[in-house]
A and B are shown apart, each in its own frame.
Chain A
Amino acid sequence: WSVACIKPSVCLSQVLISRNYKGDIDMNEIDHFMPILMQKEEEVDVSPFVAHGAVHFLWIKHMVAMTKNNANAALVFAFLYKIVEVFKEYFKELEEESIRDNFVTVYELMDEVMDFGFPQTTDSQILQEYITQRGHKLEVGAPRPPATVTNAVSWRSEGIKYRKNEVFMDVIESVNLLVSASGSVLRSEIVGSVKMKVVLSGMPELRLGLNDKLLFQNTGRDKGKAVELEDVKFHQCVRLSRFENDRTISFIPPDGDCELMSYRLNTHVKPLIWIESVIEKYSHSRVEIMVKARGQFKQRSTANNVEITVPVPSDADSPKFKACTGSAKWVPEKNAVIWTIKSFPGGKEYLMRAHFGLPSVDSEELERKPPITVKFEIPYFTVSGIQVRYLKIIEKSGYHALPWVRYITQSGGKPVRY
């Protein structure tokens, strides 16, 4: 496969920056692409694949790749997303503004990530050594070539030094639920990820021990509090063969932030915050909403920053609220009431009532019926019960390093239909 050129096209307006990597496609081909996107009113409904003549356009927000070959579709999209990610690491947000302001860096990056239609270096840590934001200031004399230019381990460069050696590890879990209108859980899964921030000198060798059920079975330990992980995926640095053999997670970490692993559990879980709602719509006069939220997790845990979004008709007006805790707010541009509760202890139950007026004339349009959504964060708690048993750090200089571990459970996409 070969991506011929990449164009961060922002908001469908026009092509901002383009690059013809291979030269086998006329750059004017892109002119066929834009009208196709424009035809559709809503960008989201255009298929990500558009073909014109012999050229295929594969596009995501902000980017489009063109190819004439029968390319590997998943790879092209993965690559486009990777570039977006790299750009975001450089300029925080990928918007027309930021691209215009930083076009030199964009050109430099596009030069490094791909050559002749083939992806080259896309690891942002390494790219940051090639291309620094400081590049805009003037450096006198030739800079020292980064070590990674000649490095063996592609994700970590040699000669990193810190005064204080530390590793921060976050175990973040979220519960994805699909709840039917009748209140039964259609589907539930726990999606977890282990994120790291590595502040370590040299080439450290790390080993992570989890309460993995298969590992416990292998070693004959009693499997009381073990967790059966499914669909585990690792960062490139983890030695997959060792994990396959004896479930050991060993790796040389990249410097800075990375997602070490992700996993999924298909266990049946009940919603952590259960929502019951009664929405009564009296046409032409008013709408009455009653929402009840119950914390269905351990009493000693507390959910923070709970945000419950309840949709209301777009033509509703004059809101009145009564919430026994937290505060409710009408957000007309989202056609919703947002009920926020700063701290929500487990086992508690709260109630909120809202009242809206409706115009006496019916609107012609069909109303969308978005689901009620809940956002929250429960620290020091994982739904699956996964635990980090140890994190060993070995480096040949023998320094002492501190591992820090945090657990957080977040709300996933949790739509409750009504």
Chain B
Amino acid sequence: MPYLGSEETVKELKRALSNPNVQSDRLRYRNVILRVIRFMTQGLDMAPLFMEMVKASATVDIVQKKLVYLFMCSYATLKPDLALLAINTLLKDCADPNPMVRGLALRNMCNLRMPGISEYIQQPILSGLRDKASYVRRAAVLGCAKMQNLQPDAEIDGAVVNELYGLLRDQDPVVMVNCLRALEEILKKEGGVVINKPIAHHLLNRMKDLDVWGQSEVLTFLLRYRPRCHSELFDILNLLDSFLGSSHSCVVAATTRLFLSLGSALPAVQSGALERARGPLLAACNAQSRELRFVALCHVQQVLRSLPGHFGAHYKKFFCSYSEPNYIKFRKMEILVELVNDENVGTVLEELRGYCTDVSPELAQAAIFAIGRVGQTYSEKCLSILTGLLELKQEQITSAVVQTFRDLVWLCPQCSESVCASIAGCEEHIQDSEGKQALVWLLGVHGEQIPGSPYVLEEFIDALKTEQSPAVKLELLTATVRLFLSRPAETQDMLGRLLTFCIEEECDMSVRDRALFCYRLLQCGVEEARRVLGGPKSDPSLGVIAGRPEEPINSWAGDFNTLAPVYSREDWAALTATTGGSPSLIPLVTGGAAQADLGSAEEAEAAGSAAAAAAPSPPGPSEELCLVSGPPLSPELFERRWLALEPSRRVSLDWPGGDCLPETLQAALQLVNIQALALSRPHARPWKAYLYAHSLGTVVLAELLRDTDAGGLQVTVKQDPEREEALSSFLTVLKTVMQTLLNSRASLSSHN
């Protein structure tokens, strides 16, 4: 961006940079470069100095080198032609005897985000991967990912992928983690890095050598690995157990997430893991940094969705302290409300009452609403606190209390008497429209119990001209008609005035309509109006619905330790809707070098035998009825084709009982050359699987869908191009595999 007066500065710096006297004096040279970087940081355009800066990179001074590299990376995209000139220097530095210089040059060369750079960096990266200094290898490994990132459409280089898989065994822990990161980036289209058994075990054994970041990330990568048997699973759990006690909450959270995922079919493992994670999670709720505290609280809330009593004994940890920011206090109050039980209700309410008089009106209001929620179960105690708050005669507090009263009365009819006794005089302290609405509603519905109700309503009606909110007017109309039905003598006159005003002077359409409606309703006769407006005055059954049922752990385990828990569920849904992505499917694609690693010897035996039985069993397997393994299909391609095609056929397969493990299904299908692209987690409803196969020059795409436990398996098949024989052969093979799996499972369970 052009900047006033920058031209002069640039000229001056240019002169200084090309002055041989300056160049020969290292200190002066570096100072000039320092000034260039300083101006660049301040937003001045220093691009015209590119040539001179490139020349300055040929130096033995490592700090000067760093500065020049920084400069080059910032402007390379603007001056790609000039940046190419720098490449020679960089290439030379990549062969420097000093590993610091080598690593630095390599890293920065890969950071030059400009077209055409990849052909130059390929060779240095490859030699960097084999460098004897780990510092260089770290840069080289990530360089592979950067290269792929520069040309996202380029073919994946199998040799590089293999090399990276090999480097997972590198001595240096950071190189190892970088390999995972790089592979994940490179193989993004194919579902990321593949974690098979040897890799998983290797990673598990290296865990203790890693730094915090490495540990958290490896734990996340391990989510992809499914142990083959129970004993392996428990070995993994034992190995990772100590990480639940890590001093870093991010490692604790990552471990917990992994445990929850590993135990998705074993509730005992999940609850055990949460039990072990309770202490660390509570400690994180009192962490030094308030952001970490906030994150921990969000996760506590998530756990409470399934295990309401999990933190019950520790409710005092969620008392707010004076200096905490409001966003933490809000969360703590929400948690406190959930932890209320017979024993602690007194203490919790006492604590919440303290917050009701907070300086922040939002917080005070939230505390009052929280007491209201507790009141749905412990109405008596809460009512006395709320009534006490009214005596403070504070605007905000009174409004919030009246709103809480309205909700309480609706849910707990037994409260209505004491509520009616206490709301007298409130109208003087309520200014906001929500509070007014609540008060007017109470006066209308319970007017016969409140001695002064007509006079309070009359005040509102008299002030109608100055009332801004249509919502209050609507509420006022209904309430006045209601009160007229129970106390006609006192109300008739003002009802008339109200209706006249609303019909003749009101500008808001909805208010006028409501007034007309009331007027016509009254014309139909009192009995008719009573029948329409009477209705029940409370609905205790709603309270039961409001108390949430416990959710299964698996419904949120996948989101644990991500960004999802920190947003409310609606917000998160809205956020993810814009970015797309379907988190419920586990991509299971194996591609390229990964497939070679997945030795078929390791496939579960059950799956193997099932598929072996299935393969020859299609009746009369003639040549053309066979499915062949073809080129792998990427998920994007699959999705495009799936959306484009019309379903060729729909069938329903018999499938009683639970789901089979995704590995078993995948292994079995693979043996008959059906590729599974993605599978839902077991026990997910609806459970889905996407499959594809090549046959007779066509591609068959299929979706398996299971909505309920009782129903069968719905199979939708699409084909491109249409070919009847291929379709039926695919279905026959699929049916046979599924049947065999069913049989083998039945025999397994009869053995046990």
Which residues of B lie under 8 Å from residue A22 when comparing CB positions? 149
Q: Is A122 an interface residue (CB 8 A)?
A: yes
Chain A interface residue number, banded? 35 or more
Residue of A nearest to B149 (CB): A23
Q: Who on chain B is nearest to A370 by CB?
A: B322
Inter-chain CA distance A53–B574, complex, in Å, is: 10
| Contact partner, B325, options A44, A74, A142, A149, Cβ 8 Å | A44
Partner of A413, one of B26, B321, B354: B321
A111-169 residues with Cβ-Cβ distance < 8 A to B are 111, 115-116, 118-123, 130, 135-136, 138-143, 145-146, 149-152, 154
* Residues on the A chain within 8 Å of B347, using CB: 186
**A232 CB contacts on chain B under 8 angstroms:** 245
A152–B171 CB distance below 8 A? yes
* Bound form: Cα–Cα A48–B326 in Å: 11
Let me know if B704 is at the binding interface, CB within 8 A. no
Q: What is the distance, in angstroms, from A220's C-beta to the closest C-beta of chain B?
A: 24
Contact of B567 among A51, A264, A415 (CB under 8 A): A51
Which residues in window 173-190 of A have CB below 8 A to B? 176, 178, 180-181, 186-187
Q: Is the CB of B66 within 8 A of A235?
A: no
Residues on A with C-beta less than 8 A from B149 are 22-23
In the complex, whether B61 has a CB less than 8 A from a CB of chain A is yes
Known contacts A79-B213, A244-B242; A115/B67 CB under 8 A: no
Q: Is B566 an interface residue (CB 8 A)?
A: yes
Least CB distance, A311 to chain B, in whole angstroms: 10
- Are A49 and B566 within 8 A (Cβ)? yes
Are B579 and A54 in touch, CB under 8 angstroms?
A: yes
Q: Are B578 and A48 in contact (CB under 8 A)?
A: no
Count contacts on B: residues with CB < 8 A to the other chain.
98
Interface centre among A121, A154, A235, by most chain B C-beta atoms within 10 angstroms, is A154
Please determine whether A262 and B247 come into contact, CB atoms closer than 8 angstroms.
Answer: yes
Kindly identify, within residues 288 to 320 of chain B, every residue whose CB is under 8 Å from any CB belonging to chain A: 289-292, 294-296, 316-317, 319
Stretch at the interface among A100-108, A206-214, A348-356, A403-411: A100-108
Query: A73 on the interface (CB 8 Å rule)?
Result: yes
Which partner residue on chain A sits nearest B101 by CB separation?
Answer: A142
Query: Is A219 an interface residue when CB atoms closer than 8 A count as contact?
Result: no
- Say yes or no: B135 contacts A150, CB within 8 Å: yes
Residues on B with beta carbons closer than 8 Å to the beta carbon of A77: 250, 289, 291-292, 295
List B265-293 residues whose CB lies under 8 Å from chain A: 279-280, 283-284, 286, 289-292
Residue among A53, A104, A146, A371 having the largest count of chain B Cβ atoms under 10 Å = A104
Q: For residue A368, which residues in chain B have a CB less than 8 angstroms away from its CB?
A: 359
Q: Across the interface, do A119 and B213 meet the contact criterion of CB distance under 8 Å?
A: yes
- Collect the chain B residues with CB atoms within 8 Å of residue A121's CB: 174
Could you tell me if A17 and B70 are in contact, using CB atoms closer than 8 angstroms? no
Closest chain A CB from B104 CB (angstroms) = 8
Count: A-B pairs, CB below 8 Å: 210
Q: Are B321 and A178 touching (Cβ within 8 A)?
A: yes
Residue B248 is within 8 A (CB to CB) of chain A in the complex: yes
B105 → chain A closest CB, angstroms:
12
CB of B741, distance to nearest CB on chain A (Å): 33
Q: Is A324 an interface residue (CB 8 A)?
A: no
Q: Is A375 an interface residue (CB 8 A)?
A: no
Does A31 lie at the interface of the complex (its beta carbon under 8 Å from any beta carbon of B)?
Answer: no
B135 touches A60 (CB 8 A): no
Could you say which of B61, B101, B212, B561 contacts A139, with CB atoms under 8 Å apart?
A: B61
Residues A115 and B326 in contact in the complex (CB < 8 Å), given A72-B562, A108-B63: no
User: Is B579 touching A149 in the complex (CB atoms < 8 A)?
Assistant: no
Task: State whether the Cβ of B154 lies closer than 8 Å to any Cβ in chain A.
Answer: no
Q: A16: which B residues are within 8 A, CB to CB?
A: 41
Complex: A415 Cα to B321 Cα, angstroms: 8
Chain B contacts for A23, CB-based, 8 A: 113, 149
Known: A78-B248, A235-B247, A236-B211. A145 touches B291 (CB 8 A): no
Q: Is A38 an interface residue (CB 8 A)?
A: no
Flag A297-326 by CB within 8 Å of B: 1 or 0 each.
000000000000000000000000000000
Residues of A within 8 A of B181 (CB): 116, 118
- Of B138-146, B478-486, B597-605, B665-673, the segment with at least 4 beta carbons within 8 Å of chain A is B138-146
Q: Which residues of A contact B174 (CB under 8 A)?
A: 120-121, 154
B30-38, B461-469, B487-495, B507-515 - interface stretch: B30-38
Residues of chain A within 8 A of B107, CB atoms compared: 111, 115
Q: Is the pair B567, A45 in contact by a Cβ cutoff of 8 Å?
A: no
**Would you list which residues of chain A between 40 and 56 have a CB under 8 Å from chain B?**
44-49, 51, 53-54, 56
Whole-angstrom distance between the alpha carbons of A1 and B180 in the complex? 12
Contacting residues, chain A, for B296 (C-beta < 8 A): 74
Choose from B27, B63, B142, B216 the contact partner of A116 (Cβ within 8 Å).
Answer: B142
Q: Verify A118–B319 contact, CB threshold 8 A.
A: no
> In the complex the two chains form, is B178's CB within 8 Å of A130's CB?
no
Decide: A371 and B322 in contact? CB cutoff 8 A.
yes
Is B573 on the interface with A (CB-CB < 8 A)? no
Decide: A154 and B291 in contact? CB cutoff 8 A: no
Residues of A within 8 A of B63 (CB): 104, 108, 135-136
Verify A45–B142 contact, CB threshold 8 A: no
Task: Assess whether B456 is interfacial by the CB under 8 Å rule.
Answer: no
A233 touches B295 (CB 8 A): no
- Give residues 315-343 of B contacting A (CB, 8 Å): 316-317, 319, 321-322, 325-327
A152–B134 Cα gap in the complex (Å)? Answer: 10
A72 to B27 Cα, complex, angstroms: 44
A362 at the interface (CB under 8 A from B): no
Question: A149: which B residues are within 8 A, CB to CB?
Answer: 99-100, 103, 133-135
Q: Does A68 contact B (CB under 8 A)?
A: yes
Tell me, rounded to whole Å, the shortest Cβ–Cβ distance linking A268 to chain B.
12
Q: Is B18 close to A, CB under 8 A?
A: no
Contact A51 B326 (CB under 8 A): no
Contact B562 A108 (CB under 8 A): no
| Alpha-carbon distance between A44 and B326 when the two chains are bound, in angstroms | 8
B561 contacts A107, C-beta separation under 8 Å: no
Q: In the complex, A58→B291 CA distance in Å?
A: 9
Name the contact of A74 in the complex, choosing from B101, B208, B241, B253 (C-beta under 8 A). B253
* A58 nearest in chain B by CB position: B291
Q: From A58, A115, A138, A234, give the contact of B61 (CB < 8 A).
A: A138
Residues from chain B with Cβ under 8 Å of A130 in the complex: 100
Question: Chain A's nearest CB lies how many Å from the CB of B740?
Answer: 38
Please name the residue on chain A nearest to B566 by beta carbon: A49
Is the pair A108, B249 in contact by a Cβ cutoff of 8 Å? Answer: no
B58 contacts the other chain (Cβ, under 8 Å)? no
Contact partners of A118 in chain B: CB under 8 A: 142, 177-178, 181, 213, 217
Task: Across the interface, name the chain A residue whose C-beta is closest to B145.
Answer: A116
Contact B37 A241 (CB under 8 A): no
Whether B246 is near chain A, meaning CB under 8 Å from some CB there, is: yes
- Of B96, B135, B241, B567, most buried by chain A (CB within 10 Å of CB) is B135
Q: B37 to nearest A CB, angstroms?
A: 7
User: Is A269 an interface residue, CB under 8 A from the partner?
Assistant: no
Using CB atoms, name the residue of chain B closest to A17.
B41
Determine whether B524 belongs to the interface, using a CB cutoff of 8 Å to chain A.
no
Please tell me which one of the listed residues A73, A154, A231 contacts residue B566 in the complex, with CB atoms under 8 A apart: A73
- Closest chain-A Cβ to B591's Cβ sits at a distance in Å of 22
Establish whether residues B27 and A70, one from each chain, have CB atoms under 8 Å apart when the complex forms: no
Given contacts A140-B60, A149-B99, A233-B247, 6 further A-B contacts (CB under 8 A): A56-B563, A70-B563, A70-B576, A81-B292, A103-B37, A135-B63
Residues of A within 8 A of B (CB): 1, 16-17, 22-23, 44-49, 51, 53-54, 56, 58, 60, 68, 70-75, 77-79, 81, 103-104, 107-108, 111, 115-116, 118-123, 130, 135-136, 138-143, 145-146, 149-152, 154, 176, 178, 180-181, 186-187, 230-236, 239-241, 243-244, 262, 264, 366-371, 413, 415, 417
* Pairs across A and B, CB under 8 Å, 26 listed: A45-B360, A47-B294, A47-B566, A48-B327, A68-B579, A70-B583, A72-B253, A77-B289, A78-B249, A78-B292, A103-B37, A103-B38, A104-B34, A108-B66, A115-B107, A120-B174, A130-B100, A138-B27, A142-B62, A142-B96, A178-B319, A186-B347, A230-B279, A233-B245, A234-B247, A366-B359
Q: For the complex of A and B, list the 5 residue pairs with the smallest distance between their C-beta atoms, beginning with the closest.
A: A233-B247, A74-B250, A119-B213, A44-B325, A75-B250
